[in-house]
Structure 1
Amino acid sequence: MSRSAVIRWLSSFAPGPIAVRWPERLRSCVGALIGIAFTGGAMHVLLGTDVNIPLLVAPMGASAVLLFGVPASPLAQPWSIIGGNLVSATVGVACASWIADPVTAAALAIALAICAMFALRCVHPPSGAVALTAVLGGPAVHALGYRFVAEPIAMQSAALVCSAIVYHAVTGHRYPHAARRKVDQDAAASVAVAKDGFTHADLEAVLRQRGELLDIDPDDLESLLRDVQLQAYARTFSELTCADIMSRAVVAVSVATRASAAWNLLKRHGVKALPVTDETQHVIGIVTRADLLDTPTFRKISVLWSLRQRWFRRRRDPVRVVGTLMNPSVHAVDAATPIAELVPLFAHYGHHHIPVLDAGRRLVGMITQADLIAGLYRQTSAQQRSAA
C-alpha cells in the first residue's frame, strides 16, 4: 500500500462537519440535563434510597443522547426506547439466568436482543447496553431477576421519554417525530415538481435494494430530497420574483376585528391565514385557523351554553378580537425577492403563509407553498412553449 493510500485511509477517520447550529446544540445539552435529572429524581421519589436498585443505569445516558441530540431519528422514538429497553432487559436477564459463563451470556444476550428489536421494530442502540447490564451488572442486578425489567429499566425509560416529550413541546420541537407531509401541495403540483425527478415508489425501491437500516425516516428523506430538488429548480429561475407568483387578492384584518368575523373570512375565501395590518397597511401580525379554533368562541358546542353566554356576554365572556389572538412574529418578504430565497423559509422554518411587501413596506400580496409550486410550473410551461 502506497503512502498516499495510507494517508487517504487515515483521513477517512476525520469527523465530518455538523450542520447543527449552536442554539440547537445548547438546547440538546439542556434537555439531556433536565431529562437525566428528572429520571433520577423520579426514581428517588418512587423507590427511595433504601432499596437495592440503581436510581440510574448507564444506558439511560446513551438514550438521552438520542432523545435530545437527534430526536428526529427513528432510533429515538418512544416505542424504540421503551420497547427496545424492555425486550433487551428481558433477554439479558434470561441469558444471565441460563448461562453460567458471563462472556458467553453477554454475547448471546446482545445477539438475541438485536434480533428481537428488529422483529418488534424497536431498534434502539443503547438497549444493547441494557442487555449487557443485565448480564454483567453484578450481584445487585442479578438479585433483582426479572424485576430488573420493571425496576429500574421500565420506570427509567418511561420517565426519560416523558421528560423528552414535555421538553420538546416546550421548546417547539416535534416529538414524537411525525413524518413531514406537504399539506399545501395538491397531487398535480407534486407531479409537476417531480416530473423529471423521482417518486415515492422510486425511493422505496432504492431503499429495498440497499437492504440496510438508515437512521432517517423514509418520509423525512423524501421531504429532504424534494426540498433540495425544489431549491435547485427555483435557482434556475433567477429572474422570477415574489411579485410574479404571489396572490394579489389578499384578505387582511385589523387588530380590532372580531374573532368570529375573521373566522368567517377564512371560510368564505378558503384560506388558512389572514395578515393583520394597521391603518397604513403595514403588517403587524398574522392569525391562522389554529389561533381562532383555540378560542372559547369556537370551543362552545352546546347551544344552551352559547345562548347563555350571549345573554351574559358583557359580564362573563368579552368579545375576543384578532389583536389578542394573532402571532406578532410574522416573516415577510419584499416583492422583488427572488423565489429561490423562499424555499428555506418553507422547508426549514415552518412558514406556510408569507406576506409580500412593496418598497414602502405595505402589504401587496401573499405567498403559500402552492403559489410557489404553481409559479414554477407556469414558468416551466412557458419556457417549453417558447423553446418549441
Structure 2
Amino acid sequence: MRRLRVWLARWLPGPVGIDGHETWRTVAGAGAGILFAAVFSRLLAGSGPVGSWLVAPLGASAVLVFALPASPLAQPWAVIGGNTLSALAGIACAGLISDPALAAAAAVALAVLLMVQTRSLHPPGGAAALLMVLTHTTQFHFAVFPVLLNSLLLVCMGVLYNSLTGRSYPRAQLLAPGAGLQPVHGRGFSAADLDAALAHYNQVVDISRADLHALLEHAEMAAYQRKLGVLRCGEVMSRAPLTVQFGTPLKEAWDLMRDRRIKALPVVDRAMHVVGIVTNADFMRIADLDRHEGLGERLRQVLRASGLTHSEQPEVVGQIMTRQVRVASEDRLLSDLVPVFSDDGHHHIPVIDGQQKLAGMITQTDVVRALYRAGT
C-alpha cells in the first residue's frame, strides 16, 4: 500500500511557482503572440480557410515562448526549426505511407529524431508532424507557409514582448567562454562536477546549462544563509584590533605583526577611519619574494631606517600599504562574506561602524568558527 501511495502521488501536480503578476504577463503574451501571427499570416494569405494560414501547434508553442521563455525548448531555433522540420517529416510520411496509423507514428518518430539531431527539440513539433498526417497534407510548401511563417512571427513577438516585460529572450543556453572553469560559489562542487552529473542523468533537462548553474549558486548561498541565520559581522568579528597609522615605521609594524602572530594590520587615520591595510604580503613584495636567496637580509634592509630626510626606500607603512581596502559594515550578513573569502583571495576584512570608523576585524578563522557553530 505504501508503494501504491507513493506511485499515485506522482500523478499529483506540483505548484506552478509563479505569482499573479507573472500569470497575467504570460496570459497576455500568449494572446498577443497568437494574434500577431494570425493577423499577419491572414493578410499574406489573402483568403482561404483558417487552416491554410494558421496551424494548431502554434498554440502550444505560444505556451512555451511566453510562459517558459528561459526553457531550451522555447528558444527561437527550437520553435522555428522544430516546427518546420517536423512539418516536413509529417508531409513526407503522409505522402509515402498509406496507412494513417503507421504514417502518424513514423511522422512523430522522424520529427523527434530530426529535432534532437538539429538541437531544435520543441514539443509542439510532434504535433506539427501529426497534423500533417491527420490532414493528409502532401505539399511541402505548407511547411514554409504557414508553419515556418507562423513560427517566425510568434518568435518575433516573443522577443519583443518578453523583453518589454522583463524576461530575457532569447536566453543564453551556454555559459560565457571560460565561465565553465570557475567553481560554483558554494565551493561544494565545480562546474565540471555539474557537467558530470548532467551526463550521468542522461535525460533532457528543461532548463539551460547557464540557468542551472546560476540556480545552484543561489541555492548554495541560501544554504549558507540558512545555516548562519541572521548572524551579522559585528557578532563574530574580533573587536578592538591592533592598528597602525600612515607614518608608523615599517619595523614597528613588522615587529607588532611578529609578536602578536597576525598577518594584517588595518591602517587608520586619527579619526579611526580605514585608509589602508598592510599585510605580510606587502612586506614580502618590497623584499622581492621571488628571489629566495638572501630574502632575510633583504627584509632586514627594508626594515632598517635610512636616517635620511629623503630616501627612495620605503620607510613607513603608508608607502607599502594596500590602499583599496574591502570593508564590511557591522550589520552586514556574515553569509555575504563567504564568497569574498573563498573566491576573491581575502583573508582579513576590516569591519566599520555606523560612523565609518574601524570597529573590528573579520578573518577566515572567524568565518570558519561561525560556520562550525552554526552547524552544531
**TM-score category (smaller protein):** 0.5 to 0.7
Cα deviation, residue 48, structure 1: 1.5
Separation in 2 of the partners of 1:71 and 1:342?
33
Question: Which residue number in structure 2 is paired with residue 20 of structure 1?
Answer: 18
1:151 to 2:135 alignment? no
- The count of aligned residue pairs is 262
| TM-score relative to the length of structure 2 | 0.61
Separation in 2 of the partners of 1:81 and 1:121?
11
Distance 1:155 1:209, change over 3 A: same
Cα deviation, residue 17, structure 1: 1.8
Which of the numbers 219, 225, 229 marks the counterpart of 1:228?
219
Counterpart secondary structure, 1:75: helix
Separation in 1 of the partners of 2:150 and 2:118?
20
Q: Is the 8 A contact 2:84 2:147 kept in 1?
A: yes
| TM-score relative to the length of structure 1 | 0.60
1:205 to 2:203 alignment? no
Which residues of structure 2 form unaligned runs of 5+?
238-328, 339-352
Which residues of structure 1 form unaligned runs of 5+?
246-333, 344-357, 366-374
Cα deviation, residue 64, structure 1: 0.5
Q: Is the 8 A contact 1:87 1:117 kept in 2?
A: yes
What pairs with 1:258-273 in structure 2 (closer than 5 Å)?
none
Separation in 2 of the partners of 1:50 and 1:38?
18
State percent identity of aligned pairs.
Answer: 37
Q: Is the 8 A contact 1:240 1:339 kept in 2?
A: yes
Separation in 2 of the partners of 1:94 and 1:182?
39
Q: Is the 8 A contact 2:173 2:208 kept in 1?
A: yes
Separation in 2 of the partners of 1:243 and 1:162?
53
Which of the numbers 119, 122, 125 marks the counterpart of 1:124?
122
Which of the pair has more CA radius of gyration? 2
Distance 1:181 1:119, change over 3 A: closer
Q: Is the 8 A contact 1:242 1:338 kept in 2?
A: no
Separation in 1 of the partners of 2:125 and 2:47?
25
Q: Is the 8 A contact 1:36 1:61 kept in 2?
A: yes
Question: Which residue number in structure 2 is paired with residue 172 of structure 1?
Answer: 166
Distance 1:21 1:182, change over 3 A: farther
Separation in 1 of the partners of 2:183 and 2:144?
50
Counterpart secondary structure, 1:236: helix
For residue 172 of structure 1, what is the amino acid of its counterpart? G
Which of the numbers 101, 110, 113 marks the counterpart of 1:112?
110
For residue 91 of structure 1, what is the amino acid of its counterpart? A
What pairs with 1:173-188 in structure 2 (closer than 5 Å)?
173-179=167-173
Distance 1:159 1:223, change over 3 A: same
Cα deviation, residue 5, structure 1: 3.8
Question: Which residue number in structure 1 is paired with residue 347 of structure 2?
Answer: none
